[in-house]
Amino acid sequence: MSAPPRELLVSADDAGTRLDAFVSARAGMSRAAAAKLIAAGSVLVDGRAATKSLRVEDAMRVSVSIPEHESAVPQAEEIPVRVVFEDEHLLVVSKPAGLVVHPAPGHSSGTLVNALLARAGGAPAGGDAERPGIVHRLDAGTSGLMIVAKDEATHAALTDALAARAVTRVYLALVEGIPDTATTTIDAPIGRSTRDRKKMAVVAGGRSAVTEITVLERLPDTALVEARPITGRTSTGALIELDDPLPQDLAAALEAARTRS
């Protein structure tokens, strides 16, 4: 048996991505698992079966049917999470570094979704049963604010706003080395790392990812920068273009850097 199909809409930012990579990223599974579903005919593109190498196009609709034994409704778990804003429609939560956003194959519990389901003040809702209320992602190693819907209408409205780039995303990062200029715009080809397929990197043949970088504070060996993704794609790779690896715990790393100065 299968759970109800997950309906995924291809955005302009996703255009040109291989189908298996698109399903992997959007459905929260490994690329191998996505390829297996495609080969089994469990993934339809605009109502038709497709190959894993298909390059998806803007506005395509991808339907993903996941077998019941591979699709589990997340359970409530008592995990501390800080809510910075809440009304009857949505939550804004502060996700710490190290916390996975939603359950996925190989990581079925201990996620932000599990934590939110245990809240007495209103549980997340809308969208897929496996990731209720979730409309955007943060990597497990990234801390930051996340908007979570509490009903289907709000989930749909937030999803549309993000697709239309009506929501501005701003990241802070402590980087090793200091950029030459106070502000710069990086246009780098981003794709899956050839060394670790779970990570993104600057690779030949990747899709253009434009990020605006502003230096906020200079320290002896590091710099605190603000990164504003323009294309909506992951911005970590843009900083790799500057050869600046990102530490996961920004607050601790920044405090240590300031202590050294």
What residues are labeled active site? Answer: 139
Residue 164 CB neighbours (<10 A): 10
Indicate the DSSP class of residue 110. S
Structure-derived torsion over alpha carbons of residues 129, 130, 134, 135, reported in degrees to the nearest 10? -80
User: Encoding tokens for residue 216?
Assistant: 């906020």
CA distance 11 to 8: 9
Angle at CA of residue 48, ends 42 and 51, nearest 5°: 65
For the chain, report the end-to-end CA distance as a whole number of angstroms. 60
Closest CA to 6 of 53, 57, 62: 62
Angstrom distances, CA of residue 252 to CA of 59, 95, 130, 174: 42, 16, 33, 10
